Structure 1
Amino acid sequence: MKKISLFATFCALAATLSAPAQTPATSSNTPIRVVIVGLVHGHVKGFLSALPKNPAAQLVGIVEPNKQLAQQYATQYHLDPSLFSTDLEQTLTAKHPDAVLVYTTIKDHRRVIEAAARHNISSMVEKPLSTTMEDALAIRRAAREHHVNVLVNYETTWYSSNAEAIREANDDKLGQVRRIVVHDGHEGPKEIGVGPEWLPWLTDPVQNGAGALFDFGCYGADLSTVLMHGKAPASVTAVAQTDKPAIYPHVDDEATVILRYPGAQTVLMPSWNWPFARKDMEVYGATGYLITVGPGGVRTRYKGEKTEATSTAPALPADQRDSLSYLAAVLHGQVKPEGDLSSLDTNMIVMQILDAARTSARTGRTVELKPLPQ
């Protein structure tokens, strides 16, 4: 029997938006073969640290044109030099991976995904999906044409606290959801010591799409889309500013985004100005609320209760506790990525929200959303 993702509750919408599932290439006991493309996104360090402990995947190649950066990673993580290449096409042809893990600039996502798709190879990219709607639509087109999966990795997808919030909302424990508030960010990329291979493009509006607005606004847009049953908001209103122009002269470091749905609102608060790192969410319904506390804690209060309760959310299933296990389960056909936090259909809506927020912040006007072209 196939397992279904905790978040996959909106299959009807997903059927019209997502790519057909890739045929599983290996048995469920066989590690998937993955190639890393790019080493300029610092999140790759977390992957390389976790890989030796995760039997779900086998690293068969790394593509990085910057040889000095490649050597740095080879030394730090004791990687076989034979893994490294500067040529994407050559690596895809020679290594035959099941998936590519993309740690390039956000702008380069489209190029890598399209190249992989031509080889019938699935992709998992770091959030967000792209920098523009044009690229997002091209990515979806490639996924559909070549029948591959394109997935987006968010740290918050693997938070059991968020899974519990989605579960309680879907089970009507909170009543009709009226308001969602999502806080995401940290003190700023330079302030926390982001590396020299990462900081220049992260703070470039072309390479990253925007500043904190895209870097952290995507988390809340992702969660809100799933909580709102895969529906796009009716409108998006955003304000963005730069409070530290000496550090971030080209992009915003502070933003507030309001998503208007019929009967509900979501407020996104992405920032590079928090006094400490945070990723937490508040979900308010007609009969209760749930507030996430870090990766695993929740605070709840329901109608008729006089005080708030604090608890630990149930652990996620083993195949959905981290990006590699999830990716392997998808490629083995054990999890169907429809309407969940990583799926392409969800992240097309996320891109609609981010693109509209960027336009709203620039023009000072609310942006009314139209249905995505099919």
Structure 2
Amino acid sequence: MASSDDSTHDFPTDRRRFLARAGLGTLAGVGAGAGALSAPAVARAQDRITWRMVTSWPRNSPGPGITADRLAKRITTASEGRLTVELHAAGELVPALEVFDAVADGTADMAHTASVYWTGKAAPAAFYTTVPFGLSSREHMAWVYHGGGQELWDELYGRFGVKGFMAGNTGMQMGGWFKRPIESPEDVKGLKMRIVGLGGEVMRRMGATPVTLPAGEIFTALQSGVVDGAEFLNPWIDEAFGFYKAAKHYAWPGVNKPNGTGECLVSAKAYADLPEDLRQLVQDACQAEHAYALAEADWKSAAALDRLENERGVSLFRMPDSVTAEQRRLADTVIEEAVADDPMGPRILESYRAAQRTARRWSEVGVRAYFQARAV
């Protein structure tokens, strides 16, 4: 089995930089799209503002960590320094799973994270990352941008003094890493699994014990046996975190996370205090990074999946239909119960489901039909 040190792919270089906590200022993606953002021709000293960004990710970690770094650079560069974003990775200013509170209480002006972590504060937040058997990445973008999702998001987070933007996407996720393959619903019973979001409750009702861990703690927990399985993101990012060294069985499809939207949290007050052009610039930078990161995730995951199978000794397995059917049977009830007690829960759930109904037929005769035809 080849190690990352003797491979000639781009991935090992990225991973060495990540592990060494090196800077990524020369990444090609930093400038991609940023030049199209509106920027003032003149930067006046009295207009200069500095924001502190905290994140839920290890510094420079492939995927979300790099996205957060690029987003900070996009804003700083496109504003010609009028709005400088200083990045503080997970644990540097606040712990990974406390960044929402940091923005809400003014410790930080901005955060890069995932809304699925905040269901304890507002259960419908899960819809702004992903829910089991939910919208795909493109369908999710359509809902937020054009189907009323952003307006509901603003209202949901507004009660905490926070505003959310889509800002990065890791695309379709995998089903998780396991010490042994899952062959039936019986194999789920007693399983300790790192899993976040409403999918964790689905697994609990199937007899598993869901465990919530931040990104930087998953590998150690999997390696030491604290958990028997773990789901995180896509092949590119999972490979970077080295999960294949602790578990060799990799499941698909990723019905728990059919989408991987990351969010930029901004203090509503700090955002409102910006000049109009800088408010627009922040929004434009988030949109540019969202599109760029989704393309990056698709491209790099394809290569990573090939390496995992052919160089890392990983065994891919399809989750049995009996397991997926049980997950599907439980998912709607779990989602409905989770949001029932939140004042906005029913409204967001109905908007999300309306988006699914709207998208379904086009997805069938468009994307699904094409992929089927291409495979013949």
Structures share fold, TM-score greater than 0.5: no
TM-score, with structure 2 as normaliser: 0.28
TM-score, with structure 1 as normaliser: 0.28
* Bigger strand share: 1
* Bigger helix share: 2
